[in-house]
Structure 1
Amino acid sequence: MSASPVFALRKAIRAYLLADAGFAAAFGQKLYDEAPHGTEPPYALFGEAQLRDWSADLSPGAEQLFTIGVTSTTRGLSEALELAQRIADLIDESPLNLQDHRLIDLRFLSMETRRDQNGRFARVNLRFRATTEYL
């Protein structure tokens, strides 16, 4: 059985981002499914994912809508926005290699900002759309 398209895409995105020197300088290895307790920002998190059938007559496929969030404690939103934009620029239309799947398209869709814990944390959520085919 092939790997889940969601898992395959997250694994490929993680490898791609961690291999980028600019991402590594800004985040180190701090790209998580869930941040470990006590992790100091800035860090990035894989968020919600929605998977839909995107099959054609001869090729089974999937469409994913997913979120990557950036968390910062710097006053204001400037650091979180800058770091989020770095991720959006890196991932949008990137040539990722997925296990058991072929990436057809990967697009940045939108960005949303918010503050948590009485303004202590600045958060930026990036939303993407990806389409894949099973190999």
Structure 2
Amino acid sequence: MTAASWELQRSIYQTLSNAPALTSLLGGAHIFSNPPQGEALPYITLGQTVNLDWSTGSEDGTEHSLTLHVWSRADSAQEVHEIIDTLKTLLHDQPLTLQDHDLVNLRHEFTEARIDPDGETMHGIVRYRAVTEPLQQVAA
């Protein structure tokens, strides 16, 4: 069985990279775990994931906290905010498909937009909370 956190990250990546509304803002499918050196902005990076046990007495489950980072060098914060709003539309409460798990929910929790310490780069931080459960196996 594939790890739920990996399935969730893969599904988020596929959803974002196949969304014309987002790729037009980014100038392509510029979504990375680790961007190539010198990659042109804007782009999104898949950041930290924290997993917590969400099991009950009878059901297994995992709570995920996922962070996405938006990077831009536009003259204002407008580009970062437009990308963040598009992320919310694509992910908040959407029924993403996972291979070996059910996605119980995926909810936007937190957004921050700020100027990075370099004084030139706008940095958007977007956090989501998800809950997954293993697919129930049907007895033969």
TM-score range relative to shorter protein: over 0.9
5+ long unaligned stretches in structure 1: none
Aligned-pair CA distance for 1:14: 1.0
Match of 1:132? 132
Match of 2:138? none
Aligned ranges 1:103-118 → 2 under 5 Å: 103-118=103-118
5+ long unaligned stretches in structure 2: 136-140
Alignment partners' CA distance in 2, 1:41 and 1:117: 16
Aligned ranges 1:22-37 → 2 under 5 Å: 22-27=21-26, 28-37=28-37
Alignment partners' CA distance in 2, 1:37 and 1:118: 17
- Answering whether residue 44 of structure 2 is matched by residue 44 of structure 1, we say yes
Q: SS where residue 16 of structure 1 aligns?
A: helix
Aligned-pair CA distance for 1:58: 2.6
Aligned-pair CA distance for 1:116: 1.8
How many residues of Structure 1 are paired with residues of Structure 2 in the alignment?
Answer: 134
- TM-score, structure 2 normalization: 0.90
Match of 1:59? 59
Give percent identity, aligned residues only: 29
Aligned-pair CA distance for 1:118: 2.8
Runs of 4+, deviation exceeding 6 Å:
none
The more displaced of 49-58 and 109-118 is 109-118
Contact 2:93/2:107 (<8 A) preserved: yes
Q: SS where residue 25 of structure 2 aligns?
A: helix
User: Structure 2: which amino acid aligns with 1:122?
Assistant: M
Alignment partners' CA distance in 1, 2:117 and 2:57: 49
Aligned-pair CA distance for 1:39: 0.5
User: Structure 2: which amino acid aligns with 1:55?
Assistant: S
Aligned-pair CA distance for 1:82: 0.9
Aligned-pair CA distance for 1:117: 4.3
Alignment partners' CA distance in 1, 2:118 and 2:18: 34
Aligned-pair CA distance for 1:120: 1.2
Alignment partners' CA distance in 1, 2:99 and 2:41: 30
Alignment partners' CA distance in 2, 1:125 and 1:102: 26
